Structure formats: C-alpha cells, structure tokens
C-alpha cells in the first residue's frame, strides 16, 4: 500500500478536529487498542484530500476504506512504537499548535463552537495534536528525507527514462487566414495579391496589412500533429520568411515564421533535480513499506473478528 510521507501529519483544521475523538464503533484492534469506524472515515478523508483526483481518490469506496483501515493500523503501530521508544511531544509545541488552530478558527469562541458542533472537547483535541507530533517525529526518524544517491543511481535512472527528458520542438508563426473559398481561382489570386503586398513591406510583417474583411492575422504555435500542412511549410522557412499560399482544411493561409527551435535532448545536469526528487521519493516510499512490515511483526491485529498474529 502506497503512502505519502505526510500521511500521518494532520495539517488541515477540519482534519485535526476530526481526529480529536473516535466513535465507539470498533472496527479493529491493534495490540488491544481500538480503531474506530470514525477514525477510519477520517483517514479516508485525509487520503482523498492528500491525493486530490489521483489514485486514492479514484478508488472504489470499498477499496478506499480498506486502504484507510490499513493506514489507521499502520499509524497506531507507529504511535505505539514511538511511545515505547520514549518519543514524546514538547508541551510548548502542543500549546503552540493549539493556539495556531484557535487563531485559524477566528479565536477561542470559534474553536469552542467547532468543538461543540462535533461534540468534542479541547482535551481531546490536545491529545490529537500530541499524537500527530509524535507520529511526525518517529516517521522523521525511521524514514529520513536525506536519502543518499550515487552518481550511478542518477545515471541509470536518466538512461532508463531518457526519452521523457526532452525539450519539445517549437514552431511559432504569424498566420494569415483567409475567409475565401479555396476552390475559386479568384480566392487564390486575392491571397497571392496579399502576399505580394507583404513582400513589398521591408519587415514582411502581416500585422501591417490593412484589414479588409477577407482575412485575419493571428500568432499561433503549430505542431505536426494538429496542423500538418502549415507545419511542413513552416519548417522549410527561415525566421521572418513568408510561405506561399497554403490550403488547409478548406481554408487558405499564408504564414511567416517567427520562431523555431528543434527538439532537444536534455542532459543529466539539466534534469538532475527532477531525478533526485523522484528517486528520493521512491526510496522513502520503499523504506515506509519496509518499516510497516517490521512494525507488523509480533503485533496482534484484530479486524472484524479476524485475528492476525505474526511471529
């Protein structure tokens, strides 16, 4: 099960308040400690918020809830490990988090109303803040951010994904689009007349043309896939050069090349930051999975009447 490293961190006000208490419906026990239906529902909401419209949000309801239950079990195991190792939250940090939350809620009265609406207490909220801080600290210890990457690691990843790291070709033109029937000889003659006027202009700038209702001028970026005929003419031109009259999709065009840059392979140095970010994230996720497996060893986990014991 994939987990973001921030998965145990409760930053949003609503999520923090929701963690303050748990409903009485017990859906699992971890070494005797209850995990409630409400705690799982809150985890579902946090997974959705953290993933947006991505993988977690797109899962079916049952699959998402199962993933949330697994996550709640993992967090309980991590919290128990942290407490066993003597990790605690600094009371001053807990108080500051509470004060920050109170300020976000518009003051003490706003926080009080929010807690009353949820039928919860400030003591329960403090317990949730303490738990969040403890979870943050043990995750930072067990899954550090400073993953060491060798030059060989980066080079292997670069060669494997080299095709993705390219600067795409760019073709920008001034496009004169005629409102004329290309099947009529008079239309082509009119387009050729406009082209001759442009050739007489020192800058050959179509924007200097006097509009007469038979054409418009616009700047556009073109691609081989979307505007094949214009593209094939454009790549033959030098910057500032005019094309002939082009027929595309029953429309006449004249183009002037403004900018052209070919597709370019990016070097390892140019994408180093992206590669480091990707590999470090993958390494942290793998360490998180390993740590979860370690935590489950020796734990007694009861889910809906099923007891899982691992030696």
**pLDDT tens across 197-216, in order?**
999 988 889 999 988 899 99
**pLDDT tens across 112-123, in order?**
888 888 778 888
Put simply, whether the predicted model's pTM sits higher than 0.85 gets the answer no
Is residue 175 within 8 A of residue 184, CB to CB? The reply is no
Is residue 151 within 8 A of residue 157, CB to CB? The reply is no
Domains of the chain, first to last: 5-148+273-309 (1.10.4030.10), 169-262 (3.10.50.40)
Tokens 């009485």 appear where? 24
Residue 283 has a pLDDT of: 92
Mean pLDDT of 140-159: 91
Residue 8 has a pLDDT of: 38
Confidence grade of residue 258 (pLDDT, cut at 50, 70, 90): very high
CB atoms within 10 A of CB 274: 15
CB atoms within 10 A of CB 168: 9
Long-range Cβ contacts of 292-299 (<8 Å, 24+ apart): 292/1, 292/74, 292/77, 295/74, 295/77, 295/78, 295/81, 296/77, 299/30, 299/31, 299/77
Confidence grade of residue 59 (pLDDT, cut at 50, 70, 90): low
Task: Measure the CA–CA gap between 22 and 37, rounded to whole angstroms.
Answer: 8
């Amino acid at each position: 099960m994939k987990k973001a490293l921030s998965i145990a961190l409760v930053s949003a006000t609503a999520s923090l308040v929701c963690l303050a208490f748990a409903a009485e419906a017990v859906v699992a026990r971890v070494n005797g400690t209850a995990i409630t239906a409400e705690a799982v529902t809150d985890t579902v909401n946090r997974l959705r918020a953290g993933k947006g419209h991505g993988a977690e949000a797109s899962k079916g309801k049952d699959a998402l809830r199962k993933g949330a239950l697994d996550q709640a079990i993992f967090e309980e195991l991590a919290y128990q490990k942290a407490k066993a190792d003597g990790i605690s939250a600094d009371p001053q940090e807990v108080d500051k988090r509470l004060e920050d939350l109170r300020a976000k809620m518009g003051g003490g009265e706003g926080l009080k109303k929010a807690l009353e609406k949820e039928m919860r207490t400030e003591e329960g909220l403090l317990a949730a803040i303490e738990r969040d801080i403890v979870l943050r600290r043990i995750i930072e210890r067990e899954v550090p951010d400073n993953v060491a990457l060798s030059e060989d690691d980066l080079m292997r990843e670069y060669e494997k994904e080299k095709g993705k790291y390219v600067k795409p070709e760019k073709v920008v033109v001034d496009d004169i689009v005629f409102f004329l029937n290309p099947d009529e000889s008079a239309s082509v003659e009119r387009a050729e007349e406009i082209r001759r006027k442009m050739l007489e202009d020192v800058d050959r700038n179509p924007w200097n043309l006097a509009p007469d209702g038979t054409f418009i001028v616009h700047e556009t970026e073109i691609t081989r896939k979307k505007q094949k005929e214009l593209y094939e003419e454009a790549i033959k031109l030098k910057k500032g050069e005019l094309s002939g009259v082009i027929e595309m999709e029953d429309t006449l065009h004249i183009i002037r090349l403004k900018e052209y840059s070919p597709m370019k392979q990016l070097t390892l140095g140019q994408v180093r930051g992206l590669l480091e970010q990707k590999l470090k994230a993958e390494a942290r996720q793998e360490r998180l999975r390993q740590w979860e497996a370690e935590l489950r060893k020796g734990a007694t986990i009861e889910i809906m009447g099923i007891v899982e014991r691992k030696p």
